[in-house]
Structure 1
């Protein structure tokens, strides 16, 4: 696994949970880092945890656009976050890999009401994954995470149920082997 000292933990980095991670919040998860700094810590969104609720279940005004919601992480699960690839939502934070985190929510509402929003370019999350200063670096040192570069295709085009394995396979070598690691090694 990569040495945590060699990893750029900037926005747009993906964190793939190591196969042996047992924390139910992050087991077999893929997290997109949106913000990372030494003073405040790290903010990310879990990409592959679709919830059994949709946007319309939490916001009444989205009657024409009702995509599924994803669990962004175990922190502040009542907060709504979104990633998109749209140029008509101003004010967001540009991430490497042709994605944007957040932006003008009124613009999002107008797109949704007008029928111009779609799950292949706008995805919503409840909560987020957060680490205090130095915490993520410690977990990387323990080999709990495998960092990789992010791309919009992983957010919008890859089946969330297959995302963990798909990224490891694409990384090749020893990582491709990890993609076949059994869910429960005791059952092997």
Structure 2
């Protein structure tokens, strides 16, 4: 992080323990979410909520759930059928490519199970075909521009540095219409210990 949590907390006269996440004891894994600590910097990860769709000793892959863009998927890809599904910034990697999660299971060949009835990816051509013939609803699919990726051990190191709070999530929550303000809602659900995060400004130097 560009700004160290310990420096901010001490300069603001706050108890440093409110920024420590280690006592959470929930390990990252596929189907869990990462909640950014209040001062995590960067246009993508600032106050972000990330769904992990893959996690192993080789690294991790996830998508930011609460950074929505204002244009529909058919404006991103001109050959895509008109479809009013939500599009989000998935992360800083491969931002010129589109990825998706869905509730369609084996209906989309090649899909990877993530959580409950939630799946990642699959045959993009088949997805478009089913949209064209009206088999899918916008609420069944969520699209992302780019993804969030971590090399082996990188995410674990960031968690040790208290950059991320790891929690469980319900699949219906993942598919809701989320935005930047949704970060606070996820913080509340993580437990009373973290609710104080909501009151801290994104840039303490301006206060």
Query: TM-score, with normalisation over the residues of structure 2?
Result: 0.81
Matched positions, count: 187
| Residues 102, 142 of structure 2: 8 Å contact kept | yes
Is 1:51 matched with 2:69? yes
1:33-71 deviation line (CA, Å, top 9, x unaligned): 111111x21111111111233211222233331434211
1:84-129 deviation line (CA, Å, top 9, x unaligned): 1124223211112431011222331122112333332200001111
- The aligned counterpart of 1:80 is 98
| Residues 85, 152 of structure 1: 8 Å contact kept | no
Is 1:33 matched with 2:39? no
| Residues 4, 141 of structure 1: 8 Å contact kept | no
SS in 2 for 1:57: helix
SS in 1 for 2:71: strand
| Residues 31, 53 of structure 2: 8 Å contact kept | yes
How many Å apart are 1:183 and its aligned residue? Answer: 2.7
Alignment partner of 1:111 out of 127, 130, 133: 130
Pairwise CA RMSD? 2.1
Larger-gyration structure (1/2): 2
Point out where structure 2 has 5 or more consecutive residues left out of the alignment: 1-19
Alignment partner of 1:166 out of 170, 185, 188: 185
What is the 5 A alignment of 1:9-158?
A: 9-38=28-57, 40-87=58-105, 88-158=107-177
| Residues 68, 178 of structure 2: 8 Å contact kept | no
Runs of 4 or more, structure 1, over 6 Å off, are: none
CA distance in 2, matches of 1:64, 1:141: 44
CA distance in 1, matches of 2:81, 2:112: 27
- Comparing 112-121 with 100-109, which one deviates more in the overlay? 112-121
More strand by share: 1
Change (3 A) 1:4 1:111: farther
Point out where structure 1 has 5 or more consecutive residues left out of the alignment: none
| Residues 43, 131 of structure 1: 8 Å contact kept | yes
